[in-house]
């Protein structure tokens, strides 16, 4: 169960790295110039989501190495924070997607299939981490 | 042709994507963080060899396994920060090709050391010869990758201060 969570976590991170790349390449972090807004995502939210997720992954690996139950719960708490930030991003992404004049936004360069895959693996990771913390399935 | 122009693309690699995460201008965090995996993995190999030179090598072999784990965790942190610097490099350029190789080799090295760690679970006594060879291969690959990282910084100037800022350190100031 806990190793399965590590695998889904790494896969989720892989999709996340691709999404971050598309957002940055689309001009998501550009602030210079007075031209039209390039993104509706606030960089601290994106980078916060990214950083907390990496910290959680590292905590999860330490949990796997040391088998400390408290760490599993901390990792779960971290994941909930990551999910809340991710949720605010995906809600904004989905809302903007409905209007055709916002198609040029940096985050709209991320295809739905990638967002969906990231989300599915993220949910799987949260469920697996929760079950591992509860002690279901053993290590 | 690069749409944003060579100078503009080069200028952008000097600024952090996020100063809080990747380090402020002129002080990138990635080169600081890579010292953790490099130091841990080099030391683990030394302890592996040492485990064959002392009476009871089990203690050193165990410490070497700990260092491998510390190195993997440190490498993940360094890699996450390095990825932010990677994203500042415009695609379809020589620097980008070098960076893709640097990133790919580093990911492979992390996998090698993770496998190396798993291989050692339940081991007793001095480190096995095959595990020492795997560590040596990992470090050799890390050396190649480090060379490419050095090329990105010292040759292409990724995340290095602008030349005008570098020159400002050489203006003579006499009272």
The residue in chain A having the minimum alpha-carbon distance to the alpha carbon of residue B76 is A58
- The verdict on residue B70 lying in a domain is yes
Mean pLDDT of B78-98: 95
SS3 B65: helix
Q: What's the confidence (pLDDT) of residue A31? A: 66
Cα–Cα distance, B135 to B57 (Å, whole number)? 17
Cα–Cα nearest to A126, from A87, A95, A93, A90: A87
B135 lies in a domain?
A: yes
Q: Is residue A69, in this structure, part of any structural domain at all?
A: yes
pTM of the model: 0.88
Tokens of A19: 């999404």
Does residue A55 lie within any of the structural domains? yes
Residue B51, in any domain of the structure: yes
Position B4 pLDDT exceeds 60: no
Helix (H, G, I), strand (E, B) or coil at B23: coil
How does DSSP classify residue B55? S
A32 in any annotated domain: no
* A-chain residues near B69 (CB < 8 A): 61, 65
Q: Are A60 and A76 in contact (CB under 8 A)?
A: no
Q: Is the pLDDT of residue B18 over 50?
A: yes
Question: Where in the sequence is the domain holding A44, given as residue range(s)?
Answer: 2-25+40-134
Q: Is residue B6 pLDDT above 80, yes or no?
A: no
pLDDT, mean of residues B57-63: 94
Give the number of C-alpha atoms closer than 13 A to the C-alpha of residue B143, restricted to the C-beta side.
7
Q: Is residue A20 part of a domain?
A: yes
What's residue B12's pLDDT? 86
Interface size, chain A vs chain B, as Cβ–Cβ contacts under 8 Å: 32
Report yes or no on A33 lying in a domain.
no
Best residue in B29, B76, B88 to probe A by mutation, most A CBs within 10 Å? B76
In this structure, is residue B137 part of a structural domain? yes
Q: Do A25 and B73 touch (CB under 8 A)?
A: no
- Give the total number of structural domains in chain A: 1
| ipTM exceeding the 0.90 mark | no
Average pLDDT over residues B109-126: 94
Residue A86 lies in a domain: yes
Domain assignment of residue B95, given as a range = 11-163
Residue A35 lies in a domain: no
pLDDT for position A36: 55
Q: How far apart are CA A86 and CA A66, in angstroms?
A: 29
Q: Is the pLDDT of residue B111 over 60?
A: yes
Chain B residues near any Cβ of chain A (below 8 Å):
17-18, 20-21, 69, 72-73, 76-77, 80, 83, 87, 91
Q: CB–CB of B19/B33 below 8 Å?
A: no
Domain count, chain B: 1
pLDDT (tens digit per residue) in A66-97: 889 999 999 999 999 999 999 999 999 999 98
Question: B73 contacts in A (CB within 8 Å)?
Answer: 58, 61-62
Write down the pLDDT at residue A30. 79
Residue B74 within a domain? yes
Read off the pLDDT of residues B128-152 as tens digits, 9 standing for 90 and up. Answer: 999 999 999 999 999 999 999 999 9
In a domain, A114, yes or no: yes
| Cα–Cα dist B129/B109, whole Å | 19
């Amino acid at each position: 169960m806990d190793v399965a969570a590590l695998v889904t976590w790494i896969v989720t991170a892989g999709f996340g790295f691709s999404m971050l790349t598309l957002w940055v390449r689309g001009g998501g972090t550009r602030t210079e110039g007075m031209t039209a807004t390039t993104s509706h995502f606030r960089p601290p939210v994106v980078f916060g989501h990214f950083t907390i997720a990496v910290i959680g992954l590292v905590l999860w690996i330490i949990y796997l190495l040391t088998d400390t139950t408290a760490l599993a719960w901390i990792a779960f708490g971290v994941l909930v924070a990551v999910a809340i930030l991710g949720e605010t991003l995906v809600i904004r992404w989905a809302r903007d997607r409905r209007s055709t004049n916002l198609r040029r936004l940096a985050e709209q360069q991320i295809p739905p299939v990638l967002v969906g895959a990231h989300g599915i693996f993220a949910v799987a990771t949260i469920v697996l981490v929760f079950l591992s913390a509860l002690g279901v399935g053993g290590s | 042709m690069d749409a944003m122009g060579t100078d503009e693309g080069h200028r952008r690699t000097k600024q952090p994507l996020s100063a809080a995460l990747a380090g402020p201008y002129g002080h990138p965090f990635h080169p600081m963080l890579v010292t953790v995996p490099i130091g841990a993995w080099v030391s683990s190999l030394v302890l592996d060899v040492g485990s064959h030179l002392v009476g009871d090598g089990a203690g050193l072999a165990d410490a070497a396994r700990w260092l491998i784990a510390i190195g993997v965790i440190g490498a993940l942190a360094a890699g996450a920060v390095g990825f932010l610097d990677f994203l500042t490099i415009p695609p379809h350029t020589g620097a980008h090709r070098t960076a893709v190789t640097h990133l790919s080799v580093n990911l492979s090295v992390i996998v090698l050391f993770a496998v190396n760690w798993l291989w050692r679970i339940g081991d007793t006594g001095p480190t096995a010869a095959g595990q020492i060879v795997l560590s040596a291969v990992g470090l050799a690959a890390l050396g190649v990758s480090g060379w490419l990282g050095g090329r990105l910084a010292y040759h292409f100037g990724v995340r290095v201060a602008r030349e005008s800022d570098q020159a400002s350190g050489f203006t003579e100031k006499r009272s």
